[in-house]
A and B are shown apart, each in its own frame.
Chain A
Amino acid sequence: MTTIRQRIDTQHRDAIHDAQLNIYGNRLATCGSDRLVKIFEVRPNGQSYPLIELSGHNGPVWKVSWAHPKYGGLLASASYDKKVIIWQEVNGRWQKTYEWETHEASVTSVAFAPHQFGLMLASSSADGTIGILRFDGQTQQWQSSRIQYCHDQGVNSVSWAPGTADPNGKKRFVSAGNDKLVKIWLLNEELNEWTCEKTIHCHKDFVREAAWCPVTNKGQHSIVSCGLDGNLVLYRISDIDTAEWKSKLLEQAPCALYHASFSPCGSFLSVSGDDNMITLWRENLQGQWIKIPRENKEREGMGQQR
């Protein structure tokens, strides 16, 4: 199959920190140091058209996250200015619908929960807390709460566990922090309280990202985390309620790793790090993750730039 790589002229005036496709791959949101969030329409042939440029942040925007299309066009952005902003498309026009500024330091990442959990998102911050925003359908308002003291020295990422059709399914997410830990959080529905269910020590340096595979394979959950120590670690659990997490070192990269994310089907894992390279992984039929050879155009002309 031939691969068409289509360049998108984002017109960002500064560094780009994130580019996220929505689940269908027909919308692309980018954000960067120029404090803007931009949305593009992407056609299957790769052509793209700018839709909107969203301004509202006062600092570099680190991350964007799309809500499930079930909720219409809904995008959240996390910025260094301590704000989480939720943008909404109403009749084809994008506007800010909610702004949340309770974190005490840079908001490092934001993630919408799977739609089965309802309209909900989590944000991580350098102040060591995790914020949870939940849309209350009755009052039509966003309700916020914060989990204090999640990771010393800051939380770097949050990622939600896959949703289940079971309405009483437990809600979980995973967080990664500068205390070299990966933590799994579980919602106690009665008390409406998040508790740390499991703490995983598998890294020797800051953990930059932990990603929860958005699908389960015969009940088996997978999490991948990567960190500055170059380790890419896979965690698996056969039964989330009873079994124990098992970890496996997928790769020891020669450089610090910063991003790891799953595709919506959980079939791909993309990892990137200091070597300015994106590596793609996929799970083969035996359940092993293998690297896919890929032409790394990103690397050209970069070398060991800091």
Chain B
Amino acid sequence: MSSKLYSRSGVFSWGPRGIQSKGLIVADFAQFFDPNAVSVEQKIDFLAASDIYEKAQLTPNVSLPTNYRFNELSWTSMCSDAHPNGIVAGGTEDGSVVFFDADKFISGQKLEVLSARKDHHGHVLTIDVSKDGRWMASGGGSGQILLWDCANLKTPFSPGAPNFPDQVKLLRWNHKNESVFASISSRRVSFWDLRRNGSPVLEFAEIPGCDWSSLCWNPSDASQLMVASQSQNASVVQKWDSRFTQTPVKEYRHHNMGVTSLDWNKSDDRLLISSGCDGQVVIWNHETSEVLGGVGSLTGDWIRSVKWNEEEPAQFAIQYFQHPVQISSLTSLGVPQPGAEVLAARVSDQFVPAWHRAPLIGSSVSLGGRLATFWKSYDVMTQQFQHNVEVETIGIQEDVGVEDIAQYLHVKDDKRNLGWYLHERAYAQSTDSSEDSELRQKVWLILLALQEGAGRTKMLSYLGLVDAQNDDVFSDHNPTTHTNSQTTTQPTTTTDRSARSTSIVSAAETDNDMTEISVIDKCSEVNWAALNTSGWDLLLNTMRQDHLAVIRVLMSSNQHVAAMMYSAQHDTENLSMILEDYNRVTQNSNPLSALTLALSASASASRTETPSHQHATKEETIQKVYKICETFPDEKWRELLGLIIAHETNTEDIRLSATTIGQKWLSQGKNLRACIAFLIGGDIDQLLLSNTSFSQVDRLKQALVLHQVLKATTYSQGLEQLIIDFTNRLLTQGAGSTAWNLVKWCQNGSAEMQELQWTCYNVAGGRDCTGDQPPLNPYNISQPQIQNHQSPNHPMRPFQQQPHPSVLAPPAMANGFNPYNPAQSQAPPPPNDYMSNRRSSNIAPMPPSSTFYQTPSWNHKPLQPPSMPPNMPPPKPAAPVTPGWNDPPPMAAKSAQPTAPKQNVMEINWKPVETAPAPGGMMRGQQMNGFSGGMGYQNLMSNGIQGMTINNQPPSATSSSFPSPTAYQQRPASVASVSAPPPIQLTPEDEKIVEPINALAQIIIDNARVQARMEKAKEFRTRIQAELSPRLAANRLSVETKQHLTHLAYFIGMRQIREAQAVVAQMARNSSDFTEISSFLPALKSLLSLALQ
């Protein structure tokens, strides 16, 4: 909402879209001379768009002297290697049209004039560039119009002699059709078509009292244009439709003195700007005739022209006769220019320009993978737009173990179920028989063992060292009964072992009162590497507590003393046997030995152990374990663990040594082994370090089971981190309740954990859905008390805020705002004018009501050829027209045909200017064509058709063959009901479109029980055949329509009638070649609804 003044006055041109260097070109104005000026040097300036924004004072970036003064400037966006920034053209006062290279000019090098032919007589008053940038048209005195090819500036084209001698005041190209432009003289508006030589294709708006001064096309409707009159008596702006040129569609009186200039905003086709002789610049909405705002303008001067900036839709510039060029914006121009505040543009808050529009669709995602989507849709049934909001949970195919962890959480408190759960894991069938997978299973086994509190023996058996004696893994026997049964199977075992606790984990209670000599203490002395097979056997047997076997091994290797000692410690009953054997081997007959034998038998019963052993310190133990590890052969790792489990008595020591071993393995990279060691060692953090080869969910479960087994209260650091990570993953997966179940057990967690708990609780749905008590709200402490700031002494208190003190608009601008005299807007639009209400906000325009298409238009058609090129008006309605629902639909853009290059789009029938007649010859052309100003529409039409490049076959009424489209259209409507199928050559693709439709019709006919129904179907079929096939054959339909038809045929072929209907509805709404499809669409629609019944 600001304005700035340029450093000088002049005629200007905004840079077109598609040009790199954006900005404004300003040059001297031909019809202005300042006698007080210091210098008469003429200059042409360039002002960069960024400078407009960033600088307070606008001075040219480039300013080059020139010999020309201009009436109008135009800048084409057609770029080439030679002209990377396009070409600027200007109409000068001496009749020459000057073209110069924009790039060289903007870069400040020089003003390289490409062409300056002097073909006009007198002033060149206007020049404009076509939409595609290829063509320039210049107009001037004596009704002279010339066409310039920007790709070849050598020779301009002329339409031939003009049929009127008036000045061409202004000339504007159609925004949708590259071959059509309109020009105005004081008395009339003329349409020109490049394909049509000689004279305007249409002349209208000859309204007495009007002195036309300005003209603009609707940027989104090829047939609509606005003209303005500068006469003081009739200061009107009129909206015309090129298809109905008897009277204006609408009239606007926003200025109480003549209107000098008019421009239609390219980005919002509701928005126009106009300037008047009263010095006012008004911005208004042509649909509602509402004045939306205006600009402060300099008084005491006339405004010559206003133009929107195509690049930046909120900006426009004003050319005064004497005052500097004013640049204004509906938003902001950045750094303000001091003193220019009064010139600021203002627009009603109620009006939202279309460039603020975004497609009405979007989404947001929250934790828990919940996605909220909003979008606009069109409901065919109610014929209304709907605005939808939906919430959904995003499902991802990727499995992170949500189910898995949920299952675990479900069973975790049930010992038996948890056991089964682990059992499944441990004994899962694995195709992979590598060592790794075995180890993985082992890890689960050990975990299972820990979970069920298995005894040492069990543990050893799981390690694979001892044969499993009891496969009943999930027996309800507690560990002690387990060992009891073991002792009964081995009655030879003596009491010395029975007192020892068998469960490593639950050993704590039983072991505490019994200290024994640590095996580690001793074992560190052994040279494990030197052990032979019998040595390992021995070790295994010791683990199996098969003492006899041990002793036998020892005896067989003549180690009777060692055997004796072993026996003395473990199984005194064998002592006598050893002695006997010793005696036998050494032939010892000493009676002493016999005595010993006898003694030992009795002594064994009363043998007590000496509990006075001092415990080794941790460090020592670790040292010793390391020592063992070093000598222990690598492949005997199971034995190492077994040794500790079987022979170590103290739980603490077992854990410590297992952990130590694990660390050693971990450092060697034997992670899975280390994993087992850590499980035995009960070290969760280390476990998590070593079990990285498992999936995250498995790691988590292992850690959690271990945590559970250890009966620990708080989560260890590593576990907590893992839980947090995993919970976050769960949240992204949308498993909010699982996440909550996972974290809810955590007590006294870190701050992060507490936050996570609170988050999960809320994501899971709070109390209502979880049934749990809310966790501690971590934010309660930090919540600021922001509600107090509404205290009365608050400087920015919202509720008593003063109205904005600046000069900005009063609130009710839409209705009351017109500081420049009330707008005498035209009579209200007809009540049924759907156009006027179709946009009250920035929603995209409503598609025309489909009832429009349902009107059986074929009954009184085709009187006129409906298949005209898009630039031509459709047939004149037969009935008197009320502008309203029956308005011709907006002509959409000609769809870009990728097949044809631009040059070939149109045929130029205009002659090069060399043949242009001498000024005297101008009037001759008028007679030649026999045109008069008030020429009737019909007449024009027929002329127009002759000018077209379509081969016009003479309508042969007697011919039995189906008429070609053109010919057909010229036949009376009654002929339309010919039943003969058209012998039209269709391409296979087209055949695919037509064939299912015919088949559908045939089915309806075949199955029709009612005569009327059959008749109807027949009629529709005939119509579709008569209308569709020739169009396909003649390739009249746009690519888009064809695509739609292909879809339609597909759906019909699939008998998906409703889908087919949707396609038809879509065609009716968006098709660009309405004139073509309107001939067969209603029949198609009716056929489909018939099929549906």
Contact = CB atoms under 8 A, between A and B. Distances in A.
A10 B388 CA distance: 8
B304 interface: no
A28 B387 CA distance: 15
Given A15-B376, A305-B378, A6 B391 contact: yes
B391 A8 contact: yes
B213 interface: no
Contact of A261 (B359, B363, B394): B363
A135 B1069 CA distance: 50
A264 B367 contact: yes
A81 B373 contact: no
Contacts of A135: 784, 786
Nearest to B371: A270
B396 interface: yes
Nearest to A57: B349
Nearest to B808: A104
B389 A25 contact: no
B842 interface: yes
A139 B765 CA distance: 36
Given A15-B842, A21-B391, A305-B844, A126 B334 contact: no
A106 B789 contact: no
B352 A80 contact: yes
B766 interface: yes
A48 B361 CA distance: 20
B363 A126 contact: no
Contacts of B1070: 303-305
Interface residues of A, number: 107
Contacts of B358: 17, 208, 258-259
B843 interface: yes
Contacts, number: 309
B763 A80 contact: no
Contact of A3 (B335, B389, B394, B759): B394
Interface in A13-55: 14-26, 28, 30, 32-33, 42-46, 48
Contacts of A168: none
A23 B779 contact: no
Contacts of B847: 305
Contacts of B363: 19, 259, 261, 270, 272, 278
Contact of B768 (A10, A43, A153): A43
Contact of B54 (A88, A137, A149): A149
B350 interface: yes
Chain B contact residues (Cβ within 8 angstroms of A): what range?
35 or more
Contacts of B769: 43-45
A305 B402 CA distance: 41
B239 to A, nearest CB: 21
Given A46-B392, A300-B377, A306-B845, A127 B786 contact: no
B784 A30 contact: no
A199 interface: no
B1069 A140 contact: no
Interface string B718-752: 00000000001001111011000000000000000
A59 B362 contact: no
Interface in B878-908: none
Interface stretch (B27-35, B452-460, B796-804, B977-985): B796-804
Contacts of A19: 362-364, 372-374, 389
Contacts of B765: 26, 43-44
Contacts of A99: 798, 801
A192 interface: no
Nearest to A30: B389
Contact of B789 (A10, A98, A148): A98
A71 B783 contact: yes
A58 B349 contact: yes
Interface string A122-163: 000011110000010101111010001100111000000000
B785 interface: yes
A182 to B, nearest CB: 17
A22 B366 contact: yes
A121 to B, nearest CB: 12
A60 to B, nearest CB: 6
Contact of B396 (A42, A274, A282, A306): A282
A218 interface: no
Given A15-B376, A104-B332, A140 B786 contact: yes
B1090 to A, nearest CB: 22
A46 B843 CA distance: 28
Interface string B323-359: 0000000111011000000000000011010001011
A280 B394 CA distance: 9
Contact of B844 (A81, A97, A306): A306
Contacts of B468: none
B2 interface: yes
A201 to B, nearest CB: 13
A101 interface: yes
Contacts of B1034: none
Contacts of B360: 15-17
A108 B353 CA distance: 13
B362 A3 contact: no
B796 A274 contact: no
B270 interface: no
Contact of B732 (A2, A22, A62, A268): A268
Given A15-B376, A15-B387, A149-B334, A24 B366 contact: yes
Nearest to A32: B387
A4 interface: yes
Interface in A194-229: 208
A35 B787 CA distance: 24
B633 interface: no
B811 interface: yes
Contacts of A250: none
A306 B892 CA distance: 12
Interface in A249-287: 256, 258-259, 261-265, 267-268, 270, 272-274, 276-278, 280, 282
Contact of A270 (B352, B364, B790): B364
B841 A60 contact: yes
A168 to B, nearest CB: 18
Contact of A4 (B350, B389, B393): B393
A12 B788 CA distance: 32
Contacts of B728: 265
B395 interface: yes
B1066 A25 contact: no
Given A44-B769, A303-B1066, A25 B370 contact: yes
A240 interface: no
Given A46-B392, A100-B796, A21 B372 contact: yes
A1 interface: yes
Given A18-B362, A59-B352, A6 B395 contact: no
B1062 interface: yes
B390 interface: yes
A282 B395 CA distance: 12
A25 B395 contact: no
A296 to B, nearest CB: 9
Interface in A152-182: 152-154, 178-179
A100 B367 CA distance: 30
B789 A97 contact: yes
A6 B390 contact: yes
A282 B400 CA distance: 14
Given A19-B372, A46-B392, A140-B784, 17 more contacts: A14-B387, A15-B360, A19-B389, A23-B366, A28-B372, A33-B843, A44-B763, A59-B352, A71-B784, A72-B783, A85-B798, A126-B331, A179-B50, A258-B358, A262-B365, A270-B371, A272-B361
7 contacts: A15-B376, A24-B368, A24-B759, A32-B387, A72-B783, A270-B364, A301-B377
Interface of B: 1-2, 49-50, 53-54, 312, 314, 330-332, 334-335, 349-350, 352, 356, 358-380, 385, 387-396, 402, 728, 731-734, 736-737, 759, 762-766, 768-769, 779, 782-791, 794, 796, 798-799, 801, 804, 811, 840-845, 847, 1062, 1065-1066, 1069-1070
